Amino acid sequence: MNSRRNFLKASAAAALAVAAAPVRAQDAQPIKIVSSLPHTGSANAQTKTMVNGIQLAIEEAGSKAGGFPLVYEAWDDASPERGQWDPAVEAANADKAVADPNIMAYIGTYNSGAAKIAMPKLNQAGLLMISPGNTWPGLTKPKVGEPNEPMVYRPSKKITYFRVVPADDIQGLVAARWTNEMGAKKVYILHDRELYGQGIATMFQKEAKVLGLDVLGFEGIDPKASNYRSLVTKIKQKRPDLVYFGGTTQTNAGQIAKDLRSANLNVKFMVPDGCFENAFIESAGPENVEGSAFITFGGVPADKLTGKGAEFYENYKKRFGSEPEAYAAYGYECGRVVIDAINRAGKKDRAAIIAATAATKDFDGVLGKWSFDENGDTTNTTMSCNTVKNGKFEFVKVFGQ
């Protein structure tokens, strides 16, 4: 009887102790997920659908994860002055996220250059960062980019950055091989001097040389120039079969396409995924890229997705009443990965959520079944080749599965 009485006393004391345990102020608050993407300038149409994708993933989860309500905020990392992502704004966004103890995940960035700014800040703070759009290999892969990459982005020595999109060492290789398949043997390579654009142009050049293609030129452009007529005149004299531009819609890909056509240069024009948005066709003018522009993209267009990807495509159209742009699926995938990690972590703890994210294996997502590797990269390497027909993007084929 005494032992039973003592047991009940001990149980009551334990219950009181639990009841009296201090509760961290942030534990009473919802978990916040933020995204940092450019919403100012022509990238907005693309990033708006990425935000929609993230929002859809949260809504499908009932706006809850790990026993906590979820709150999502979409932040702009662009400025009117630059018309695209701005280093100062990206730095301010990262600092704001670090300072808010309720933020458990930072979805972004879209531009690899912006990632270089946010990554060390978030890594130092132990805050999860997951990108739907960064493709520069040096962000994660040793011995591919600069000598100090990727460790310069990891001051804590830990991996806190992940991405669901294949990197440019894969895309550059695919672009060069597609060029070779199309019978283009002489290429002229341009880039926008930015991390993403110059980086993927370098990857294209490297594989082009391996394939024995004749690289007639490799040079950077001024992405703010009003036209490239003199440059096109010089390119025309070299008589290339294909011009490759490492850059984005925002760094003037459309103007280059216009000037190539106006010079009556009968040449193929290939661009990477940074131009796989309707804004590229609009800026170039549909008649200037019809059947002559070729675009590589990590993954396949939304209307070509299968399984859970096809479900996402239909649900997106029902929810938002419009077609998703190419990167909407990656935004959605990021949202689902974060929610899954919070559920498995089971607590509002940045380190635990990062550990759960790193442990993501055989994720059954809209992009197929994939895992994160030891660098934080997706194991998905599917790329697609696309062109422009009737003023719209047209899927050509899958490359590199």
Among 230, 199, 171, residue whose Cα is nearest residue 384: 171
What pLDDT does 399 receive? 79
pLDDT on residue 298: 86
The predicted pLDDT at position 1 comes to: 40
Count the Cβ atoms, other than its own, within 10 Å of residue 127.
24
User: What pLDDT does residue 170 have?
Assistant: 87
CA distance readout (Å), 162 to 215, 360, 377 = 34, 11, 6
85-121 pLDDT tens trace: 999 999 999 999 999 999 999 999 999 999 999 999 9
Max Cα-Cα span within the chain: 102
pLDDT value of position 400: 60
Q: What is the DSSP string of 157-188?
A: SS--EEESS--HHHHHHHHHHHHHHTT--EEE
pLDDT (0 to 100) of residue 349: 97
CA–CA gap between residue 195 and residue 133 (Å, rounded) = 13
Instruction: Give φ, ψ of 184 to 5 degrees.
Output: -80, 115
User: Nearest Cα to 377, choosing from 360, 365, 364?
Assistant: 360
| Helix extents (H) in 61-111 | 87-99
CA distance 58 to 273: 26
Q: What are the average pLDDT values for consecutive 10-residue runs of the chain, which has 401 residues?
A: 46 44 66 96 87 98 96 96 93 98 97 95 98 94 91 98 92 95 97 92 96 98 96 97 96 97 95 93 97 93 90 96 92 98 97 98 92 96 94 90 54
182's tokens: 């199309």
Other residues' Cβ atoms within 10 Å of the Cβ of residue 206: 14
Question: How far lies 18's CA from each of 4, 25, 67, in Å?
Answer: 21, 16, 19
